[in-house]
Amino acid sequence: MTPEETRARLLYRDGLMLILDKPAGIAVHKGPKGGQSLEDDFDALRFGLPRKPALAHRLDRETAGCLVLGRHHKALEKLGLLFKQGKIGKTYWAIVEGGPDAQQGLIDLPLGRLDATRGWWMKADPAGLPSQTRWTIAGRGEIDGRAIAWLELEPLTGRTHQLRVHCAAQGWPILGDSVYGTAPRGNISQSAPGLQLLARRVSVPLAKTGPPIVVEAPAPAHMLRALEICGFAGDPPRAILEPGAAAEV
């Protein structure tokens, strides 16, 4: 992305933290094989500081939405501790195939590594790490003759691929998931929907007193059709933060 395009995706900015609207389909950092990553564009987000910001957590390559960055070392330490302690609230939107019969529930299913050859791929494993996801139905619909559901997901733990594995294990995989769901792997056509998973909202308790900072990412274009079928009325227009001092939120 150009510096202008990167700054246009900024959802929140203060002296400690930036929250970026991560696009789907790009890794947040370079993997073992290298390649393009979102970190390549962070120099555009310095806003006068001597160093560029750094990742406070991770999102999957295929996942869109709220990505938290720390602006300097002390900020990263503080944010890292909040994430580790589970004090940062995270809410995701997902479009799933089929969907649960109930309106809300809790998935309590330990997760472990699939095997040493599959990198970060995970599986349900009774001997794995405790993993919990709270879910609520936000809407239902039908797409291309198949029932779908719009879920609001709240991960109570932060395991790799947790939401994707949990949904698939319940029999309602996330639409567009080519690892744990039914989407084709390899050369996916341009008409394929892509992973229907959005990091919709984060709630960050930065101040010792006062309310947490709550930021929402807009629904991405590749999820709009399915969301609208399930009753989503659209996001209101949002202001784009400018690079000047007035951009402090």
Q: Is 60 a catalytic residue?
A: yes
Catalytic one of 14, 21, 43, 60? 60
Cβ(94)–Cβ(194) under 8 Å? no
Cβ neighbours around 114 below 10 Å, total: 16
Report the catalytic residues.
60
